[in-house]
């Protein structure tokens, strides 16, 4: 069973439809039931909106311990804020994350967001951008290096632990857009909105065993 965690803040319909497209025979469930999360073979942790709201909604549904347990024991995919929430702290609302991994979520600096030609870049970072793979993780199988994925975000991960970085993207600066550690894989972009490459990543996750 593949469980997509529903804490009221994720792009749940698009994520569900993408998983169903690549794995139509799988038992895929969108749920906020801790018992379902515990029984799942694979767990997906999506997120949209502001970090303080996501943390609040997660705790109001008493799902923090279920997320932490799943992230320690099962193939686990974090998407967008589902990546950001795994870390220590976010500058968005100056809120603590789940603290599962070490790092801070920082806001892009409006004063320094220009491309190589000096053109001002907009915040949020929105649209398609190249993803440069930094390791040979199973979730990159059959995805070309520097393939393009879809982003919507104003905050990015800053972590001193470079061993967890699985891909980077440039938007005025180079930043980590995918992390991997043991059974956890998490991405800042939206694979469910990223056409062929995104669906391949989701397919790779469904087939991933740890």
76-79 and 89-90: which strand pairing?
Answer: unpaired
Under a CB-based contact definition with an 8 Å cutoff, are residues 187 and 54 in contact? Answer: no
80 is catalytic: yes
Q: How many angstroms separate the Cα of 122 from the Cα of each of 18, 92, 109, 114, 197?
A: 28, 18, 10, 9, 25
Would you give the end-to-end CA distance of the chain in angstroms?
Answer: 15
| Euclidean distance between CA atoms 21 and 199, whole angstroms | 8
Which of 42, 125, 153, 190 is labelled catalytic?
190
182 is catalytic: no
Which of 42, 57, 177, 192 is labelled catalytic?
192
- Count of alpha carbons within 13 Å of 88, Cβ hemisphere only? 8
Residue 175's nearest CA partner among 125, 116, 135 is: 125
Angle at 178 between CA 175 and CA 180, to 5 degrees: 130
Which of 54, 57, 80, 153 is labelled catalytic?
80
Residue count of the chain, please give it: 210
Alpha helices in 5-87 (DSSP H): 12-22, 34-39, 51-60, 64-73, 81-84
192 is catalytic: yes
Q: Name the residues annotated as catalytic.
A: 80, 190, 192
């Amino acid at each position: 069973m593949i469980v997509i965690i529903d804490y009221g803040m994720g792009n749940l319909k698009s994520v569900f439809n993408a998983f169903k497209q690549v794995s139509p025979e799988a038992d895929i469930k969108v749920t906020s039931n801790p018992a379902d999360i515990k029984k799942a073979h694979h767990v997906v942790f999506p997120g949209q909106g502001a970090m303080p709201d996501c943390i609040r909604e997660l705790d109001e549904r008493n799902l923090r311990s279920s997320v932490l347990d799943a992230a320690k024991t099962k193939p686990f995919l974090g998407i967008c804020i589902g990546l950001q929430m795994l870390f220590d702290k976010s500058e968005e609302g100056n809120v603590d994350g789940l603290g599962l991994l070490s790092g801070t979520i920082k806001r892009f600096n409006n004063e320094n967001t220009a491309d190589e030609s000096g053109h001002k870049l907009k915040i949020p970072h929105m649209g398609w951008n190249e993803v440069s793979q930094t390791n040979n993780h199973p979730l990159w199988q059959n995805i070309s290096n520097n393939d393009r994925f879809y982003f919507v975000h104003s905050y990015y991960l800053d972590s001193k632990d470079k061993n967890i970085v699985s891909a980077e993207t440039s938007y005025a600066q180079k930043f980590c857009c995918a992390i991997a550690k043991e059974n956890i894989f998490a991405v800042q972009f939206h694979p469910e909105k990223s056409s062929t490459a995104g669906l391949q990543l989701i397919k790779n996750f469904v087939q991933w065993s740890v």
